Amino acid sequence: MSASIKGNSPKTEAFWMPFTANRQFKASPRILVAADGMYYTSDDGRPVLDGTAGLWCVNAGHGRRRIAEAVERQLATLDFAPTFQMGHPAAFDFAERLAEIAPGPDGQRLDRIFFTGSGSESVDTALKIALAYQRAIGQGTRTRLIGRERGYHGVGFGGISVGGILNNRRAFPTLTGTDHLRHTHDLARNAFTKGQPEHGAELADDLERLVALHGAETIAACIVEPVAGSTGVLIPPKGYLERLREICTRHGILLIFDEVITGFGRLGAPFATNFFGVTPDLVATAKGLTNGVIPMGAVFASRPIHDALMQGPEGLIELFHGYTYSGHPVASAAGIATLSIYAEEGLLTRAASLSEDWASAVHALHDARHVIDIRTIGLIAGIELRSRDGAPGARAYEVFVDCFERGLLVRVTGDIIALSPPLIIDREQISSAVATLADALDRLA
């Protein structure tokens, strides 16, 4: 891989960086200039093992020539085409390919697909579809949306309103008519669990409390991440999702899974829907949809939801919603190539064959300095650290910087270190990543 040198690193002043302490970063930038397979290259020429699949999105690894060639061909053939009252082959072809692997069991797949440009857009789209569906079936009083504490559903106003991470909500007004279930994190009873924790299924009954408070006739949908990723890898207790599904069904509430992170093989199944055996009514996706190469998202809807909106005069628009880049031809081409790689290399299920080795390796950090919990499932891990007095988040950030300097990219949220490597990782690379992390924890004050 070719790499730049420090003297040729970009000027940083003009780019207002997202979710970044800009002044802190620009005082000591960390710049990536190339990527291939499991590794980035830093601007001083060092290989950096990607322990986060970019931002949970590069599931097939970096530099996939097949995707690049598909993008190049599409750009040369049809760079853009509108999908408002028009169409192009790539979007229809991609939707058909996705329908073949859509979440849910055979005969009940959520195989009606609405394209978006990102995970945030997918969440807002799923919420709007839920509201439109309830209105279409004569349940127009159902306008309330239920999220969960410590949930992350992107940065649109819908997403931050049903989301439950304080810093994502505190700076901006949120929509009225939302409420939140309690989160499922129970450090006292479930610390150091491999897979689903034993305790906490009863927390799903919080939805019954909200039904009693607001009335089922006011609630349109409940949205949760099957595994909450951005808040620090919170894994659902055994029986929790099943109970949530049953309560939603009983009260006519749509269940939405936000699978922006868990979709496309992260847990060892194509979707968390399949992994847990619980089928929602709508699934929001993005990230691994195109291997992170071109921004794109997709909402998977059940046929009953889709068909309920396909009523009335045929000349009327059924859902007044969409984006300029819905079904973008270049993104669709990248997605089709990505699905081919997933299928040919078995990547949608590969995490299942690595999950035990992954869990054993990460849980070996049990006695590392300041570690108070480790959570693993599929190819995801959360390592929670005891916060430093008066400086929450400082310890995990120091580990993040230390690991980067020693050739490993991790992600931090508060004092939780998250790992979610590309699905092509091998056992030697798992050992290397954990060893680097162990060294960083050992140096931690």
pLDDT digits (tens, 9 = 90+) for 38-69: 999 999 999 999 999 999 999 999 999 999 99
Amino acid 6: pLDDT = 53
| 60 close to 20: Cβ distance less than 8 angstroms | no
Residue 8 lies in a domain: no
What is the spatial distance between Cα 205 and Cα 246, in angstroms, rounded to a whole number? 10
| pLDDT confidence bin for 218, thresholds 50/70/90 | very high
Instruction: Give how far the C-alpha of residue 294 lies from the chain's centroid of Cα atoms, to the nearest Å.
Output: 16
Residue 436 in tokens: 């680097």
Amino acid 267: pLDDT = 98
Q: Same structural domain for residues 270 and 331?
A: yes
Average pLDDT over residues 255-272: 98
Cβ within 8 Å of residue 344, ≥6 positions away: none
H or E stretch at 419: strand 416-419
- Torsion sign, CA atoms 109, 98, 354, 190: negative
Q: Same structural domain for residues 220 and 304?
A: yes
Mean pLDDT score across all residues of the chain: 96
**One-character DSSP codes across 178-228:** EEEEPP---HHHHTTEESS-SS-GGGGGHHHHHHHHH-GGGEEEEEE-SSB
Whether 1 shows a pLDDT value over 50: the answer reads: no
- Comparing CA positions, the residue from 281, 256, 257 lying closest to residue 269 is 257
Q: Same structural domain for residues 313 and 352?
A: no
Whether 376 shows a pLDDT value over 60: the answer reads: yes
- Comparing CA positions, the residue from 207, 163, 144 lying closest to residue 181 is 207
Q: Across the beta sheet with 112-116, what order do the strands follow?
A: 112-116, 297-301, 282-285, 254-258, 219-224, 144-148, 178-181
Whether 9 shows a pLDDT value over 80: the answer reads: no
Q: What is the pLDDT of residues 394-410, one digit of tens each?
A: 999 999 999 999 999 99
Length, in residues, of the chain: 445
Q: Same structural domain for residues 36 and 75?
A: no
3-class SS of residue 331: helix
Q: Same structural domain for residues 297 and 358?
A: no
More confident residue, 297 or 7: 297
The enclosing domain of 436 has a CATH number of 3.90.1150.10
Whether 4 shows a pLDDT value over 80: the answer reads: no
Q: What is the pLDDT of residues 415-430, one digit of tens each?
A: 999 999 999 999 999 9
Average pLDDT over residues 182-201: 97
Amino acid 445: pLDDT = 83
The enclosing domain of 191 has a CATH number of 3.40.640.10
Q: What is the pLDDT of residues 86-127, one digit of tens each?
A: 999 999 999 999 999 999 999 999 999 999 999 999 999 999
| 275 close to 248: Cβ distance less than 8 angstroms | no
Q: Same structural domain for residues 354 and 419?
A: yes
Amino acid 2: pLDDT = 45
Of the residues 312, 344, 376, the one at which a domain ends: 344
Determine the structural domain holding residue 32 and report its residue range. Answer: 20-50+347-441
Amino acid 418: pLDDT = 98
Whether 7 shows a pLDDT value over 60: the answer reads: no
Whether 152 shows a pLDDT value over 60: the answer reads: yes
| pLDDT confidence bin for 305, thresholds 50/70/90 | very high
Amino acid 5: pLDDT = 47
Amino acid 168: pLDDT = 86
Q: Same structural domain for residues 72 and 36?
A: no
Please state the φ and ψ torsions of residue 368, each to the nearest 5 degrees. -70, 160
Of the residues 327, 344, 361, the one at which a domain ends: 344
Average pLDDT over residues 231-252: 98
- Determine what percent of the chain is predicted with pLDDT higher than 90: 96
Q: Same structural domain for residues 371 and 321?
A: no
Of the residues 344, 373, 402, the one at which a domain ends: 344
| pLDDT confidence bin for 365, thresholds 50/70/90 | very high
Lowest model confidence (mean pLDDT) among 163-172, 177-186, 245-254, 338-347:
163-172
Q: Same structural domain for residues 256 and 401?
A: no
What is the spatial distance between Cα 42 and Cα 54, in angstroms, rounded to a whole number? 14
Q: How many domains are contained in the chain?
A: 2
Q: Same structural domain for residues 407 and 388?
A: yes
Average pLDDT over residues 435-442: 97
